[in-house]
């Protein structure tokens, strides 16, 4: 059953929680995990439209969904109207919305005219949004995820957002950094606030999501309060703590057990990716460093399950106490 993301974002009673698009990591299994812990909207990794519409292998590998995959936005990297419309024809019926990636700063993507390149090619971006909304109207939700232009004060970004609202974009996600700002530098919440306030002078019902530096519940509340947005997106924070939006300051053990159940049921993630997801969770839990080293030396899924059994009270789905523990249930090895 489809879920309207705009309805979630328009709910004034609470902040809408959003899992951001992450290359490799925001795949079906991880999206499903996060939705157990109060994440309302999730994004796929960026899918390259040109590859997807032309290559059957890309269509098999780039998008996985199921009946448990809640409110899901397919994020697309695209640099022309034709590929975008073809992509939407193929993907639109199976997801709850489409997000155009206008924020990825990776050089290879920018050289292709996608990601951050799109905020400097405003006319093309506006044409793409207009083409989609002219054809689909409110039957398809469309978002753009942007960064801030490098010009001291983000007036150019304000103009872009106003034009996007004019042609009917359903909501705009703003990553509060420029294309050259390192992730180690603080997100610019004042810039997001400025953009939101300026756009709402002309489009008072415009919907915004803020992205950047959301690592816990306090961050989420602070970001929403300062910027005035309806939703807050997390990527790096929720990768390490999938229960971030459920109020947990560090990753609870139950995430590990539920994640392992999901990935063994789906059978869709490469082992190295399962391994890295677990590493991020264990590191966030401040697990024993020797165990982290052992984890990364494992070679396949059966050895991982054995390792979990040897070192922890690791419960399976259907077993009493499954996915309930918060603290790490060590067996013999104590945390150092």
Which residue ranges make up the annotated binding site for FMN? 21-23, 75, 175, 235-236
| Buried/exposed 76-114: b ≥16 CB within 10 Å, e otherwise | bbbbeeebbbbbbeebbeebbbbbbbbbbbeeebbeeeb
Tokens of 200: 């709402």
Kindly write down the DSSP assignment for every residue of 206-238, as one continuous string. --EEEES---SHHHHHHHHHHH--SEEEESHHH
Answer whether 259's CB lies under 8 Å from 250's CB: no
| Antiparallel, parallel or unpaired: β 208-211 and 97-102 | unpaired
Is residue 233 within 8 A of residue 214, CB to CB? The reply is yes
Active site residue 280: no
- Candidate list 104, 165, 214, 255, residue with the active-site label: 104
Taking Cα atoms as reference points, which of 220, 222, 206, 212 lies closest to residue 9? 206
State residue 301 phi and psi, 5-degree precision. -65, -45
Separation between Cα atoms, residue 238 and residue 52, nearest integer Å: 27
Q: Retrieve residue 282's tokens.
A: 């264990």
Tokens of 226: 């300062």
Instruction: Give the residue numbers of the binding site.
Output: 21-23, 75, 175, 235-236
Comparing CA positions, the residue from 265, 295, 291, 294 lying closest to residue 277 is 295
Q: How would DSSP label each residue in 20-32?
A: PP-TTTSSHHHHH
CA distances from 143 to 72, 73, 156, 161, 171 (A): 12, 9, 19, 11, 5
* Residues annotated as catalytic (active site), given as ranges: 104
């Amino acid at each position: 059953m489809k879920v309207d993301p705009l309805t979630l974002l328009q709910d004034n009673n609470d902040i809408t929680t959003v899992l951001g698009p992450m290359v490799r990591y925001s795949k079906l299994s991880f999206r499903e995990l996060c939705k157990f812990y109060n994440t309302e909207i999730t994004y796929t990794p960026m899918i390259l439209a040109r590859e997807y519409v032309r290559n059957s292998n890309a269509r098999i590998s780039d998008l996985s969904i199921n009946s448990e995959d809640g409110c899901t936005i397919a994020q697309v990297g695209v640099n022309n109207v034709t590929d975008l419309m073809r992509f939407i024809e193929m993907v639109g019926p199976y997801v709850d919305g489409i997000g155009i990636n206008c924020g990825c700063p990776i050089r290879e993507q920018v050289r292709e005219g996608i990601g951050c390149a799109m905020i400097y090619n405003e006319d093309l971006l506006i044409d793409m949004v207009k083409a989609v909304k002219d054809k689909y109207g409110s039957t398809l939700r469309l978002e753009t995820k942007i960064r801030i232009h490098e010009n001291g004060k983000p007036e150019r970004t304000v103009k872009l957002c106003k034009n996007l609202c004019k042609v009917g974009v359903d909501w705009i996600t703003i990553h509060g950094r420029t294309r050259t700002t390192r992730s180690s530098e603080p997100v610019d919440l004042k810039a997001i606030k400025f953009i939101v306030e300026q756009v709402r002078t002309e489009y008072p019902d415009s919907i915004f999501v803020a992205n950047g530096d959301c690592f816990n519940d306090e961050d989420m509340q602070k970001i929403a309060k300062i910027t005035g947005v309806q939703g807050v997106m997390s990527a790096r924070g929720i990768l390490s703590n999938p229960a971030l939006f459920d109020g947990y300051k560090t990753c609870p053990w139950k995430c590990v057990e539920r994640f392992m159940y999901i990935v063994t049921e789906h059978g869709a993630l490469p082992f190295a990716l399962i391994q890295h997801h677990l590493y991020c969770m264990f590191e966030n839990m401040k697990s024993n460093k020797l165990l982290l080293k052992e984890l990364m030396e494992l070679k396949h899924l059966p050895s991982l399950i054995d390792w979990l059994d040897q070192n922890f009270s690791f419960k399976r789905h259907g077993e009493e106490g499954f996915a309930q523990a918060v603290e790490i249930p060590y067996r013999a090895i104590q945390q150092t």
